[in-house]
Amino acid sequence: MSFALVALPIPLRHTFIYRVPAALEATCVPGAPVTVPFRGRPRRGIVVERVTKSAVADTRELTAVNGPPLLDAHLLALTRWMADYYLAPWGEVIAAAMPGGQQGLAASRARKGAVEDPIVTLGLATRITLTREQASATRAIEQAVRARRFAPLLLQGVTGSGKTEVYLRAAAAAREAGGQTLVLVPEVALGSQIVREFRRRFDRRVGVLHSYLATGERRRNWELARRGALDVVVGARSAVFAPLPRLVLVIVDEEHEPSYKQSEQLRYHGRDTAVRRAQMLGIPVVLGSATPSLESLANAARGKYRKLLLPDRVDGRKLPVVRVVDMRREGAGTLLSTPLRAALAARLERGEQALLFLNRRGHSHHSQCRACGHVPTCPHCDIALTLHLTPSVWRCHYCDHEETARPTCPRCGASFMRLSGAGTQRVERELAQAFAGTKVLRLDTDVARDHAAPAEVIRRFAKGEAPILLGTQMIAKGLDFPRVTLVGVLDADVALHLPDFRAAERTFQLVTQVAGRSGRGKTAGEVIVQTCTPEHPAIAASMTHDLATFARAELAERKEAGYPPYTRLAALLLTGADEDEVERAAEAMGGHLRAASGDDVIVLGPAPAALAKLRGRFRWHLLLKGADGSRVREVAAAGLDWAESKSRPGGVKVAVDVDPTDVL
């Protein structure tokens, strides 16, 4: 008798065994989509392994094989690794790897003649002369492709240094070697220059995979990739699963981008999975960024990643001059400082354009002293305390430390002010007062509710319809407006004091990326950063584009406070409609985790999440921290085992996040 282990897309972290009837012997192979009886009804799943013995006395019979394998041995191994690493059900990982998500398991693919090429031809390749550094980075990647062994390469290039050109040449070399290239880009970059360039150079041999595409089109590109009809696949996070039988090179652009992390349902990191995929295949992976993550910088410092540097902008263009304006010296309540008003006036006079960037996170409220800039932080966790108004307390969202909110600053005695990011509308009003009659375009989440609207706003600004574009994170990257010579960061402190250990890193990245939008044409650019904490290393270093100094200071802080990359984290999130029930379950979970943690894993919390209520559900979380990642995952798994047992309160859902990026 023979049996098959089947992974089902259900929230249980194990596989299920079925007997294979003789008639299905030949087709019931690993990777094949099958139908099996499960709890009294048919369910679709994937065969992950054939075995000869079953420990179950009365093993039920597999019902049907629904087509040829959907995953090859490599993708089965990759999804298996993800399931183990991220403590996720293998069946759910496989479902996420399908082009149509869960429904993907249902479809049988490889219908002959059904495949059409959706790519529009856009003209011939242009010849561009590489800078010396671009040429040497390209050579290094080409050599790694030819050597066909795992090589993680960190391509660190300032904004405007021509990283895209290096990617294009490397992918061309991979094609010449008969191989395929996978290019991951952040979600926001899918309509951008980099995708257009790949389409231009690789013509019909490039396919784009992303979630906005209709399922049919995604399946078509997926199928083209699987058949080897594409040389390049460009896509966001989930394209990491693209079936590429001749894959020889993986590129992750803007590798520091938080959007690579999926923080709902299947919680995984697209960049880390891409690195793992390259390692499993024994091929090079290029991680590119102007502001690499501290994890990648630490890996480079340890010699695990090889660093390729692009220190200058192309065509001899200069990096913009960054000026920091101390808002403690400006009038209370004003959003546009005197220097920023003067700089804007100069642009209007010269007919140049300006971007104004306002970072806004609605659910975060920290206190900040208006006189000295002091922000109260948790004595245990070294993150900003969040102000709660009824009762008036400061609370830590990692460990639940709480203290009475004071009206005056312990450092200088002045009165505190509550700081909640100002809205774009308020800025619009101030602009209207200062520059009557000047047209201002706005791009924020309100505008973006309509899917087509952001592209339209960007098109109008690029055409020069308005001299000023005011926006949120959405304008921070990927955009290239040659007439923009001024970028204003209206409130750098909002990002800096989020209750998140990565707040400083994100601020440095954000300011540097936004600054990178300035001066991409012939005129040198200027950047004005408004802050109440100009002395903070993240702000000070962005003034001089000094990544090395910032990274050194921030890595030392992380080491001191015991955060990644020096420790590994896992978060357990409990949610439910009944607040008391969630709290009780979180307390009980804390007990189970502490029992399993020994002395090498620290359990923080439970505490209400900073985002304490979302869509009618209350949220509590616990944070695990330890030097050994596998021990951290072991303890988290013990918590999940308890959650999956029958003893926990029924209305509470438990989710785990291994290597969380937003600990909010």
Determine the Cα–Cα distance for residues 353 and 441; give it in Å rounded to an integer. Answer: 11
Listed in sequence order, the residues at least 6 apart from 312 whose beta carbon sits closer than 8 Å to its beta carbon are: 131, 133, 158, 161
Q: Does 633 bind Zn ion (CB under 5 A)?
A: no
Cis bond leading into 37, ω under 30°? no
Q: Does 374 bind Zn ion (CB under 5 A)?
A: yes
Residue 369 · residue 416 · CB < 8 Å: yes
Candidate ranges 211-219, 235-243, 359-367, 389-397; the one touching Zn ion (CB under 5 A): 389-397
Residue 96 · residue 12 · CB < 8 Å: no
Distance between start and end Cα atoms, the chain: 51
Strands (E), 333-443: 353-357, 366-369, 386-388, 393-395, 402-404, 416-419, 440-443
Candidate ranges 201-209, 226-234, 302-310, 413-421; the one touching Zn ion (CB under 5 A): 413-421
Q: Does 602 bind Zn ion (CB under 5 A)?
A: no
In angstroms, give the least distance from the CB of 587 to Zn ion.
17
State which residue, 317 or 401, has the beta carbon closest to Zn ion.
401
In angstroms, give the least distance from the CB of 571 to Zn ion.
14
Q: Does 372 bind Zn ion (CB under 5 A)?
A: yes
Choose which of 20, 88, 322, 409 interacts with Zn ion (CB under 5 A): 409
The token pair at 583 is 């709290």
* Helix (H), strand (E) counts: the chain: 18, 29
The token pair at 550 is 């910032």
Residue 174 · residue 167 · CB < 8 Å: no
Q: Does 206 bind Zn ion (CB under 5 A)?
A: no
In angstroms, give the least distance from the CB of 369 to Zn ion.
3
Among 84, 12, 14, 80, which Cα is nearest to 633's? 84
In angstroms, give the least distance from the CB of 532 to Zn ion.
10
Candidate ranges 23-31, 141-149, 230-238, 373-381; the one touching Zn ion (CB under 5 A): 373-381
State which residue, 286 or 663, has the beta carbon closest to Zn ion.
663
State which residue, 17 or 409, has the beta carbon closest to Zn ion.
409
State which residue, 270 or 606, has the beta carbon closest to Zn ion.
606
Residue 472 · residue 359 · CB < 8 Å: yes
The token pair at 246 is 């001749």
* C-alpha separations of 147 from 19, 140, 214, 282, 399 in Å: 44, 11, 38, 10, 48
Identify the burial level of 587 via C-beta atoms within 10 angstroms of its C-beta, where 0-12 means exposed, 13-18 middle and 19 or more buried: middle
State which residue, 189 or 405, has the beta carbon closest to Zn ion.
405
State which residue, 333 or 410, has the beta carbon closest to Zn ion.
410
Candidate ranges 116-124, 216-224, 412-420, 560-568; the one touching Zn ion (CB under 5 A): 412-420
Among 179, 171, 180, 100, which Cα is nearest to 142's? 171
According to DSSP, residue 590 is labeled: H
Determine the Cα–Cα distance for residues 177 and 289; give it in Å rounded to an integer. Answer: 26
* C-alpha separations of 442 from 355, 360, 427 in Å: 10, 14, 10
Site string for Zn ion, 544-583 (x = CB under 5 A): ----------------------------------------
The token pair at 522 is 């012939």
State which residue, 318 or 329, has the beta carbon closest to Zn ion.
329
Residue 440 · residue 431 · CB < 8 Å: yes
In angstroms, give the least distance from the CB of 505 to Zn ion.
19
Candidate ranges 3-11, 113-121, 284-292, 411-419; the one touching Zn ion (CB under 5 A): 411-419
State which residue, 350 or 411, has the beta carbon closest to Zn ion.
411
Q: Does 369 bind Zn ion (CB under 5 A)?
A: yes
The token pair at 119 is 């790519």
Candidate ranges 119-127, 372-380, 528-536, 627-635; the one touching Zn ion (CB under 5 A): 372-380
In angstroms, give the least distance from the CB of 419 to Zn ion.
13
In angstroms, give the least distance from the CB of 57 to Zn ion.
51
In angstroms, give the least distance from the CB of 385 to Zn ion.
8
In angstroms, give the least distance from the CB of 408 to Zn ion.
8
Q: Does 412 bind Zn ion (CB under 5 A)?
A: yes
Q: Does 396 bind Zn ion (CB under 5 A)?
A: yes
In angstroms, give the least distance from the CB of 40 to Zn ion.
48
Q: Does 624 bind Zn ion (CB under 5 A)?
A: no
Q: Does 664 bind Zn ion (CB under 5 A)?
A: no
Determine the Cα–Cα distance for residues 20 and 652; give it in Å rounded to an integer. Answer: 37
State which residue, 402 or 578, has the beta carbon closest to Zn ion.
402
Determine the Cα–Cα distance for residues 561 and 582; give it in Å rounded to an integer. Answer: 29
Q: Does 385 bind Zn ion (CB under 5 A)?
A: no
Half-sphere exposure of 581 (CA within 13 A, CB side): 13
In angstroms, give the least distance from the CB of 371 to Zn ion.
5
What is the size of the binding site for Zn ion (CB under 5 A)? 15
According to DSSP, residue 473 is labeled: G
Candidate ranges 320-328, 414-422, 581-589, 623-631; the one touching Zn ion (CB under 5 A): 414-422
In angstroms, give the least distance from the CB of 498 to Zn ion.
14
Choose which of 318, 350, 380, 439 interacts with Zn ion (CB under 5 A): 380
Residue 619 · residue 607 · CB < 8 Å: no
Among 317, 312, 315, 313, which Cα is nearest to 523's? 317
Choose which of 146, 388, 401, 460 interacts with Zn ion (CB under 5 A): 401
Determine the Cα–Cα distance for residues 520 and 529; give it in Å rounded to an integer. Answer: 18
State which residue, 10 or 372, has the beta carbon closest to Zn ion.
372
Choose which of 196, 411, 418, 439 interacts with Zn ion (CB under 5 A): 411
- Positions in the binding site for Zn ion (CB under 5 A): 369, 371-372, 374, 378, 380-381, 396, 398-399, 401, 409, 411-412, 414
